[in-house]
Every structure is written in structure tokens, then in C-alpha cells.
Structure 1
């Protein structure tokens, strides 16, 4: 064997030992890292999940409590508001408005027609207001002036038949006395009227007026 071959074999043996040594060192380092917990990244995930769980549970509970309180408040307000709009106070208000309006509609005198009709119109709304205006202008006013017709109405009894927040129906029993040039002693009549009421801007007004 030549000297060059001996040198090459010696170098190959040295390289092989060095490679084995590096492999052993890397294996040892990896084992030590596993034993000492240097590779802690995978184990950190459960901890974050626990922290997030502890964080989100109180937030979810608070949100649920707020939503429940808001719902309870809304239900209470809606029910209380509805009771106010259809309770005893509302019935009394709509009853008074129907009575006052009925008397105003059926009461007038030839020397105060404009004032009487204006007072009646203040109790009316919608299509019935338009109808009453046309009817009094074209029929009632000429007849009242020509024959000196005077009528006086009085409510005998009345009752709320139905009531809603913005509408109601009132049954009114009314007596009416009428005098004229042709009948100076007067005539008397009793009738019942179904009065439809509408709530406009907080005021109860007559929207329909139907004899029954």
C-alpha cells in the first residue's frame, strides 16, 4: 500500500468518526430538549384555551344578563303602556269626547250657526269632518236660517263598546229637542248613535256617527 492510500484511508476514517460524533451530539441534544421541556410550544395551546374559556364565560354571562334585563324592561313598558292606552283613564277620556262631540253635533241655533258649526267641527276628523262640513253648509244652514230651526241635544247614557290604543267605539243614547217657526212648541226625539272615535295627536275625535 502506498503512502497516499494510507493518508486517504486515515482521512476517511477521521471524517466517519466526526460524522458519528455530530449525529450523537444532535441525538443527545434532542433527547435533553424533550426531557427538559425546551419544546414547550405544543403544550402551551391548552393553557391558552383555558384562559380564553375563563375570559369568555363571564362576558357571555354578562351579555345574557343585559339582554334579559332589556327584554324584561321592554315587556313591562309595552304592557304598561298598553294598559294606559286602554284602561279606565283612557275609557273615561274617550267617553267624555264622544259625549261632548255628540252634543256639539246635534245642537245649533239660527243666530249662532257659524259658532255652533265651528265648535262641532273641532270634535271631528277624517272623512266625517268633510261630510259634516258639506252637509251643514248646503242643507242645515239654509234650512235653519229659513225656518229658524233650533236644536238642543243631551246625552242620557253612554258606554264604551270597544277601545284600542288609537280607536274606539262608543254607544250614545241622546235626547234631542227641536223648535222652529212651523213648530214653536217643539218636538222631542230619542235616539241611539254608534260613535266611532279616532285618537289624533293625543285627542279623541269623532270619525263616524251612525244611528242604530
Structure 2
């Protein structure tokens, strides 16, 4: 089985168990064994391997074993390289982790703010945003978030429960983020926790991942 076949056969696992196949005895092998084990035979038959060694080629056991071991070691080395050292997979995994981290940190910054530290919180959130979404956020916070937070003495804190890449492209990604948002106001001092999920689009801008879309689902 080729490396490609191994990967297709086990898409969900990181490593595949190697399988060793045993060559079964055939009818011809049995006939050779019977002939070799007759009354005139100087020694008992040794099965498939014994018949091969008794041919005119007369290969000796030690060289054959060494050749097999060399071939097996070479195949094992190639398999381990393909499985354990895949530069393309390592790069993709690194990019995916960076995208998930940026989406998670940006989501927390967007959904966490307090009426007492509103300007500071909004400024911190802006550092995670880019493109048209940054312009939209500036307008939205000034028209709705700031007045509402000050009027109700609102404080909200977001916590990402889990996140995973939904799409991964060169220079961009879409991350599905599951978040719990805890909110208090002057009228409801006890925290109200609301779970939600968001599709967060992130784009690399000058080497930094920035949120360019933020769509609740």
C-alpha cells in the first residue's frame, strides 16, 4: 500500500498502524513439500523458503535476510518521513492555529466591554479588525454600543468555549467560534450567560491576522 493509500484509508487519525502480510502456502508449495519429504530426501522439507533455497540459484539465507531487512528499513524510513515529516501539513497546521487564535482573541475583544472602560475596550477591539468591517465597527459602536452601555451601566465578558477552522485559503480563513457571553446591567446585577456561535473571517494583512467579517450563526 502506498503512502497516499494509507492516508486515504485513515483520514481521521494521525498515525496508521503498519500491517505485516504473511504469504500463504499454495497447492504447488504443498506438492513440493511432499516431494522433498519422500524417503529419498536427505532432510525434511522446509516449506516455501526451503524449496527456493534448493534451486540452482542456491541463495544463502543470510544474504537474503539482509536484503529483506534493507528493503524493509528503506520502506519504513520512507513511510515515517511521509507520516511524521510533512512540511505541507506542518505549514497548514501552523496557519490554521494562527487563524483560530486570531479569531478567538478578536471575538473576545469584540464582545467584552464595560461602561466604565468603554473607550479603552473599543480601542483594543479595533486592533483585531481590518477592511470594511473595521469601518462598520467604528460606526456601530458610536451609534449603538456606547450609548446603550452607558445608559444601562452594561458590562459584558466573552469566553471562547471552542473554535475550529471551517475554511482555509492562502492568506485567509473562516473560523467557527463558540462563545459564552456573560452580561450584567444596573437592573440585572446577576450575570446572564448567553451561548452563541459566530463565523469569523480572518485575513492576513501585513503578516497579521485581522477579522474582516463577523457573522453570527
Q: Same fold (TM over 0.5)?
A: yes
Within 5 Å, give how 1:1-212 maps onto structure 2: 83=88, 87-212=92-217
Q: Distance in 1 between matches of 2:166 and 2:181?
A: 22
SS of aligned partner of 1:162? strand
Aligned Cα root-mean-square deviation (Å): 1.6
Offset at 1:175? Answer: 0.2
Ranges of 4+ aligned residues in structure 1 off by more than 4 Å: none
More helix as a share of residues: 1
Q: Which has the larger radius of gyration?
A: 1
Q: Structure 1, residues 57-95: CA drift from partner, whole Å, max 9, x if none? A: xxxxxxxxxxxxxxxxxxxxxxxxx94896111111111
Q: Structure 1, residues 101-124: CA drift from partner, whole Å, max 9, x if none? A: 000000000111111001101000
Normalising by structure 1, we get a TM-score of 0.60
Aligned to 1:73: none
Closer, same or farther: CA 142–189 of 1 in aligned 2, 3 Å: same
Q: Distance in 2 between matches of 1:171 and 1:94?
A: 11
Answer whether contact 1:110 1:148 (CA < 8 A) is retained.
yes
Q: Distance in 1 between matches of 2:168 and 2:91?
A: 6
Q: Distance in 1 between matches of 2:162 and 2:213?
A: 19
Equivalent residue pairs, number: 131
Answer whether contact 1:166 1:199 (CA < 8 A) is retained.
yes
Q: Distance in 2 between matches of 1:199 and 1:85?
A: 18
Q: Distance in 2 between matches of 1:160 and 1:86?
A: 14
SS of aligned partner of 2:113? coil
Answer whether contact 1:99 1:158 (CA < 8 A) is retained.
yes
Offset at 1:146? Answer: 1.2
Q: Distance in 1 between matches of 2:208 and 2:157?
A: 25
Q: Structure 1, residues 41-60: CA drift from partner, whole Å, max 9, x if none? A: xxxxxxxxxxxxxxxxxxxx
Q: Structure 1, residues 161-203: CA drift from partner, whole Å, max 9, x if none? A: 1111211000000000000012111211000100011110011
Normalising by structure 2, we get a TM-score of 0.58
